[in-house]
Amino acid sequence: MYVPTPTQRASQPTTGPWWLLIGPGFAALIGLFLLTVIYRFDGESPLQIDLGISSQSLLLNGVVAYVVAAALAFPAGLLLGGRFPTSVTVPALVFMLLGVVLVAFMPSSGLLLVGRVLNGLGAGAVLGVTVALIRRLQAGRGVAAGVMAGLGVLALVIAPVLGGLLSDATGFRVVFIVAALFVFVALVVAGILGIVALAKPKPLPYAGPSVSETPQRH
């Protein structure tokens, strides 16, 4: 009698643990928050007033530069983030941190463009990493995408409100100092989770059927 050979297990797509999404996902939400926090719904931006710049200058240096930089960095995060999430997320967060700190402590409007470009590069990269990790999830992909999309829209909408309230009380620079603290927290979290992922034992590769599983005829 012929005993058929067990079919070889189908190769699974390479994917990391789901919790690697926490670091870049949190950073992506911060990046979306920082995109619109320089505006407010009920009047002129405190940043615009304090720096003495026009609405056109705020739009170009504060928003357009941010979006363009993010669009340039997003493909890199999307292509590399699935396989090397920590290696992409950590440098991106460093760029974000430098950009936020630069805006917080800039002496004049001349450095606004530089700070927003650095911030946009980091935000675009971590957003790409977040999308890449969600696409590689084997379960709960739709839920994760929906939650991140909802939180992202919320961050965009709520940023001018919170930023305006905090700016009225303390000045716009404090808004970016607080944002820098959150970026630093995201950096620490991403680094720790990356170290944990590297230390986690890797599954052994499939070595094929054993001798007892080879076809036999009786």
Q: Would you state the structure tokens that stand for residue 128, as one six-digit string?
A: 């790409």
In a domain, 67, yes or no: yes
- Of 1 and 96, which is predicted with more confidence? 96
Decide: 16 and 199 in contact? Cβ < 8 Å: no
Its pTM stands at 0.79
In a domain, 2, yes or no: no
In a domain, 217, yes or no: no
pLDDT, tens digit, 9 for 90 and up, residues 115-151: 999 999 999 999 999 999 998 888 778 888 899 999 9
Domain count along the chain = 1
In a domain, 201, yes or no: no
pLDDT bracket for residue 8 (50, 70, 90): very low
Domain containing 185 equals: 19-196
In a domain, 212, yes or no: no
- Of 15 and 67, which is predicted with more confidence? 67
Residue 206 and residue 204: Cα distance in Å, rounded? 7
Predicted local confidence at residue 12, as pLDDT? 44
Number of other CB atoms surrounding residue 137 within 10 Å: 16
Q: Is the pLDDT of residue 205 over 70?
A: no
Q: Would you state the structure tokens that stand for residue 204, as one six-digit string?
A: 């052994």
In a domain, 59, yes or no: yes
Nearest C-alpha neighbor of 60 from the set 135, 8, 112: 112
Decide: 104 and 47 in contact? Cβ < 8 Å: no
| Residue 184's CATH number | 1.20.1250.20
In a domain, 5, yes or no: no
In a domain, 103, yes or no: yes
Taking the chain, what is the end-to-end CA distance rounded to the nearest angstrom?
Answer: 5
Q: Is the pLDDT of residue 215 over 70?
A: no
Buried b (16+ CB within 10 A) or exposed e, 18-36: bebbebbbbbbbbbbbbbb
Q: Would you state the structure tokens that stand for residue 193, as one six-digit string?
A: 């989770």
pLDDT, tens digit, 9 for 90 and up, residues 74-116: 999 999 988 888 899 999 999 999 999 999 998 877 788 999 9
What average pLDDT score do residues 60-83 get? 92
Q: Residue 94 burial (CB < 10 Å; 0-12/13-18/19+)?
A: middle
Predicted local confidence at residue 15, as pLDDT? 52
